[in-house]
């Protein structure tokens, strides 16, 4: 059995959304011994905890997996990758940040230190795989983010009243206020509509969205963070999933919505056009285009055949992300 160290932000117990280091590590433990870091809220303590994990296990670790984003985690990845090199431990960055290309452009030397010396790079999306290949990186494995299909029961919803669902962390890059503006526009056009927004606060965006809804007297339910089982249960009352992000890779919440039978209307940024085929298994619109998203929602309501075709195709696509299929790719990589 391989010994795996996995570093990332394991902060779901601190009010944040569940991340890959927490969910994927549980799956990998089916055939590997996995130790993770870190659940420390303080960023400095989190990095020190990651360093401690790698140092203490330097003689027994077969691989170090590193969740790699474009923000602060980029520097975690830099430190842990170089520490792994020092101890001659194979390391694998997992490319999550939809905006990682900016790091390749703006920090080429640091990027090469991390990515050129890796055993492999794992990209959950075809989008980032292409981006990295365009910058000359070749040791890239495309292993999708994974879902548990057995927990995601499909059903095809009718759209009478438009009940929108938005699931994400409240962060400016995910543009949560656009969801509120979409609801406002639908109501102004005479449609009966509601909006439920699920996710934790990260940068003040939740407060801004609440104030926007209040000032416009809109029917918005803010649940804050919910366990996955609870938001999936809540999703039964919704009939359109909207994704308003300005930067993204391959969001699990969108894949899960596709599996559940929720027709998805999303911005066409980052990896989303690689995940969603427009007019086939979802509808794509330009970022920050409120009216385009509104029109797409109305299309789903008014064109039953289109909506039915989209949700059936989306479910078929989502089945390829089931752990039982993705598991085989991880087993081959870590064997």
261-274 residue pLDDT tens: 999 999 999 899 99
Q: Are residues 46 and 79 in the same domain?
A: yes
**pTM to 2 decimals?**
0.90
The per-residue pLDDT for 97 is: 74
CATH of the domain at 22: 3.40.50.2000
pLDDT in tens, 139-160: 999 999 999 999 999 999 999 9
How many percent of the chain have pLDDT more than 90?
88
Q: What is the pLDDT of residues 290-334, one digit of tens each?
A: 999 999 999 999 999 999 999 999 999 999 999 999 999 999 999
Whether 300 contacts 263, CB under 8 Å: yes
Look at residue 14 in the predicted model and tell me its pLDDT.
67
- Per-residue confidence (pLDDT) for residue 13, from 0 to 100: 75
pLDDT range class, residue 71, cuts 50, 70, 90: confident
Average pLDDT, the chain: 95
Can you tell me the mean pLDDT for 49-70? Answer: 96
- Residue 334 inside a domain? The answer is no
Q: What is the mean pLDDT of residues 112-138?
A: 95
Q: How confident is the model at residue 70 (pLDDT cuts 50, 70, 90)?
A: confident
CA 233, 237, 240, 242 torsion: positive or negative?
A: negative
Same domain, 101 and 178: no
The parent domain of residue 25 ranges over: 2-143
Same domain? For 113 and 225 the reply is: no
Give the tokens for residue 217. 């007297």
Are 182 and 252 contained in the same domain?
yes
Provide the number of structural domains found in the chain. Answer: 2
- Residue 330 inside a domain? The answer is no
pLDDT digits (tens, 9 = 90+) for 188-204: 999 999 999 999 999 99
CB atoms within 10 A of CB 335: 7
Do the domain assignments include residue 325? no
Residues 139 and 159 in one domain: no
Q: Which residues pair with 35 in a beta bridge?
A: 5
Average pLDDT of the residues in 67-92: 95
For the chain, what percent of residues have pLDDT higher than 70? 99
Q: Which of 112, 143, 174 is the last residue of a domain?
A: 143
Pair 81, 91: CB distance under 8 Å: yes
The pLDDT of residue 263 is 98
**Which residue, 85, 109, 143, sits at the end of a domain?**
143
Tell me, yes or no, whether 136 and 181 share the same domain. no
Same domain, 24 and 137: yes
Question: Does position 17 have pLDDT exceeding 80, yes or no?
Answer: no
Half-sphere exposure of 269 (CA within 13 A, CB side): 20
């Amino acid at each position: 059995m391989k010994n795996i160290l996995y570093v990332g932000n394991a902060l779901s117990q601190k009010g944040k959304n569940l991340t890959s280091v927490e969910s994927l590590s549980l799956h990998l433990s089916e055939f590997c011994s996995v130790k993770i870091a870190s659940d420390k809220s303080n960023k400095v303590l989190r990095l020190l905890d990651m360093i401690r994990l790698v140092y203490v296990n330097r003689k027994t670790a077969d691989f170090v997996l590193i969740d790699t984003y474009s923000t602060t985690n980029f520097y975690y990845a830099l430190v842990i990758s170089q520490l792994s090199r020092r101890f001659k431990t194979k390391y694998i960055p997992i490319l999550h940040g939809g905006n990682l290309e900016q790091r390749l452009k703006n920090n080429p030397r640091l990027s090469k230190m991390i990515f050129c010396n890796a055993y492999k790079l794992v990209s959950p999306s075809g989008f980032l795989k292409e981006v990295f290949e365009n910058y000359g990186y070749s040791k890239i494995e495309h292993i999708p983010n994974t879902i548990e299909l057995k927990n995601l029961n499909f059903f095809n919803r009718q759209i009478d009243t438009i009940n929108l669902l938005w699931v994400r962390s409240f962060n400016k890059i995910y543009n949560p206020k656009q969801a509120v503006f979409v609801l406002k526009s639908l109501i102004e056009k005479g449609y009966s509509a509601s909006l439920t927004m699920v996710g934790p606060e990260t940068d003040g965006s939740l407060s801004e969205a609440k104030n926007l809804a209040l000032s416009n007297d809109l029917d918005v339910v803010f649940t804050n963070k919910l366990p996955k089982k609870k938001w999936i249960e809540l999703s039964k009352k919704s009939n359109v999933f909207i994704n308003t992000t300005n930067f993204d890779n391959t969001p699990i919440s969108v894949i899960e919505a596709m599996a559940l039978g929720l027709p998805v209307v999303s911005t066409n940024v980052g990896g989303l056009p690689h995940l969603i085929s427009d007019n086939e298994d979802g509808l794509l619109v330009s970022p920050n285009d409120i009216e385009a998203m509104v029109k797409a929602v109305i299309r789903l309501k008014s064109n039953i055949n289109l909506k039915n075709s989209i949700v059936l195709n989306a479910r078929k696509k989502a089945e390829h992300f089931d752990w039982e299929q993705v598991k085989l790719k991880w087993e081959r990589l870590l064997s």
